[in-house]
Amino acid sequence: MHAALLQINPTVGALRSNADLIIQEAHRAADAGAELLITPDCALSGYPPEDLILKDHFCADCQNELDRLINELPKEPLILIGTPLLRNGKKHNAAIAIQNGTIVGEYYKQLLPNYGVFDEKRLFAPGTESLILNHTGKKIAVHICEDSWEPEGTAVTNIEQPIDLLINLSASPYHRGKQKDRLRILQQTAQSLSTTLLYCNLIGGQDELVFDGSSMVIAPDGSLISRAPAFMTHTLHWNTASAEITPPLNELSEIYEALKLGLHDYVEKTGFKKVVIALSGGIDSALVLALAVDALGTDRVISVTMPSRYSSSGTLQDAIDMANRLHIPIHQIPIEPLHHQFQNQLTSIWENKTSAELTDENLQARIRGNLIMAISNEFNWLVLTTGNKSEMAMGYCTLYGDMCGGFALIKDVPKTTVFDLCRWRNEQSEVIPPEIINRPPSAELRPDQKDTDSLPPYHQLDPILEAYVEQDLGIDGLISAGFDPDLAKRVIHAVELSEYKRRQSPPGVKITPRSFDRDRRMPIVNRYRN
């Protein structure tokens, strides 16, 4: 059998264009001789559809496009389409089997994930029955995403055995380490059923999520037969006579590609023509700028530098140098005149006292926030913020200041990973001035300021944050893991105290197993500390 796994990039809610994409790729694969065509989970609607499912007419509109697909898809192959579906008053996450212009089978997802970024139990009714299709002399079972993630779960055990193929329509988002976990689990499922598993995963960015593709075929013994490239659209053709195996990326390459794709699709799918970045000469804005140019091209990226009385000549020159290396425009707007005027205007409120140090630091950040948002409003450019996960965790950021913007590209990237990514990017071509990487991080909002004045050194901070945020270790667990008790308590206190800030931050790409956006939902008013 010749199968084609259509690793496509739909847009949530763009039903007609998604259907057009499916039709286009299906005909192309059929012309190449494919007898079995597989689309990802919710390929017709895009994933995740979230509360669009609750809208009265959404499933009906999906059905209308499904009817069009039935008429316009190639006739001979067996084609599996992922779509939300309304049946008997219940909404399902479904796989529709189509051949010769008719529906030959329907499968409703049985295991509805309700953890992390998923909340399908709130939206869909679970299926209870397996679907077995007979095609070209093969017995083919159908799963949707989570169904195959429990090798001993009911969706697996309910399958009438033996079968020749297990098809999985998937929308499995990326995070660091996910690809290895995914392969391991799917190998177990293939082995438990003693069957070949064809896994077709979604590609593309959707809000905070990035889907990496990496569609694959796994043999009954668990060995990897075929795998599509990650982070790009691709049709993976497979038959018993030939196979393609794309080697995996290393971890830093994965993360960089995920960030690029997440940014590219967010900009494209929201309709922005250009992005604008406040370029400080620091490492975070340097990484964001490199990613933006790599994702969008030089003609769609604008940089602005807004030096203050505390900005060093070195950071200013590094910002200009990097913009020149990437061949993008850089605009200079000194904030000192505005800073001075703000201080004068506030003197009466402060009763002729000099402002507190922190207040003055935040004031500078908010002046910059106002300026870059004015530029955004005037030209309809998307502002990319430059804060990282370590800063967001500790509240080392300013509401309505450096947090101003529409997309927080690296908000889930720990500071130590920021350094690693910058070094990795420079190994490809040196676009980031080495001085930026080598200089001790500083907000430059007061004389001789360093991040370590307010935060623990990042090589100490980030492991604690990973253990506390991603692994849910409390103070006792952190101490047992070898972390300094006082430092651990300090970190916990700052993380929980800063929830109100994070709740007001723009969306950004998820790259860790547990981000602050969808994965971790903490009350703002919260007195629990452990």
497 belongs to a structural domain: no
Query: Could you give the 3-state DSSP secondary structure of residue 172?
Result: coil
Q: Indicate if 329 and 366 belong to the same structural domain.
A: yes
What pLDDT score does 312 carry? 83
pLDDT in tens, 92-150: 999 999 999 999 999 999 999 998 899 999 999 999 999 999 999 999 999 999 999 99
Q: Indicate if 260 and 123 belong to the same structural domain.
A: no
What pLDDT score does 355 carry? 56
pLDDT in tens, 210-264: 999 999 999 999 999 999 999 999 999 998 766 788 999 999 999 999 999 999 9
Q: Taking the model in full, what pTM does it have?
A: 0.94
* Cα–Cα dist 257/251, whole Å: 10
| Domain end among 248, 283, 310 | 248
- What's the length of the chain? 530
Q: Indicate if 44 and 91 belong to the same structural domain.
A: yes
DSSP states of 256-295 as a string? HHHHHHHHHHHHHHHT-S-EEEE--SSHHHHHHHHHHHHH
Q: How many Cβ atoms from other residues are within 10 Å of residue 352's Cβ?
A: 7
Number of folded domains in the chain? 2
pLDDT in tens, 116-126: 899 999 999 99
Q: Domain residues for 12? A: 3-248
CATH number of the CATH domain containing 150: 3.60.110.10
pLDDT in tens, 390-403: 999 999 999 999 99
pLDDT in tens, 274-311: 999 999 999 999 999 999 999 999 999 999 999 988 88
108 belongs to a structural domain: yes
Q: Indicate if 301 and 198 belong to the same structural domain.
A: no
pLDDT exceeds 90 at position 66: yes
Query: Could you give the 3-state DSSP secondary structure of residue 296?
Result: helix
Q: Indicate if 273 and 217 belong to the same structural domain.
A: no
414 belongs to a structural domain: yes
Q: Indicate if 286 and 147 belong to the same structural domain.
A: no
- pLDDT band at 196; cut points 50, 70, 90: very high
434 belongs to a structural domain: yes
* Cα–Cα dist 144/109, whole Å: 6
Q: Indicate if 301 and 188 belong to the same structural domain.
A: no
Largest CA distance in the chain: 88
DSSP structural state of residue 20: H
Mean pLDDT of 27-47: 97
Token output for 94: 């479904």
382 belongs to a structural domain: yes
Q: Indicate if 62 and 28 belong to the same structural domain.
A: yes
The residue behind tokens 């919710």 is 42
What pLDDT score does 421 carry? 98
pLDDT exceeds 60 at position 191: yes
What pLDDT score does 242 carry? 67
Q: Indicate if 35 and 51 belong to the same structural domain.
A: yes
Mean pLDDT of 408-429: 97
Q: Indicate if 301 and 228 belong to the same structural domain.
A: no
| Domain end among 229, 248, 267 | 248
pLDDT exceeds 70 at position 354: no
| Domain end among 406, 422, 451 | 451
Measuring CA to CA, which residue among 213, 215, 154, 157 is closest to residue 186? 215
Amino acid at 457: P
271 belongs to a structural domain: yes
What pLDDT score does 314 carry? 86
What pLDDT score does 178 carry? 94
Q: What does pLDDT average to over the chain?
A: 94
Q: Which of 174-188, 249-263, 366-380, 516-530 has the lowest mean pLDDT?
A: 516-530
502 belongs to a structural domain: no
464 belongs to a structural domain: no
Q: Indicate if 281 and 217 belong to the same structural domain.
A: no
Assess whether the previous peptide bond of 48 is cis (omega < 30° from 0): yes
What pLDDT score does 136 carry? 92
Q: Indicate if 301 and 438 belong to the same structural domain.
A: yes
What pLDDT score does 32 carry? 94
Three-state SS annotation for 493-527: HHHHHCHHHHCCCCCCCCCCCCCCCCCCCCCCCCC
- pLDDT band at 201; cut points 50, 70, 90: very high
CATH number of the CATH domain containing 278: 3.40.50.620
pLDDT in tens, 438-484: 988 877 777 777 878 888 999 999 999 999 999 999 999 999 999 99
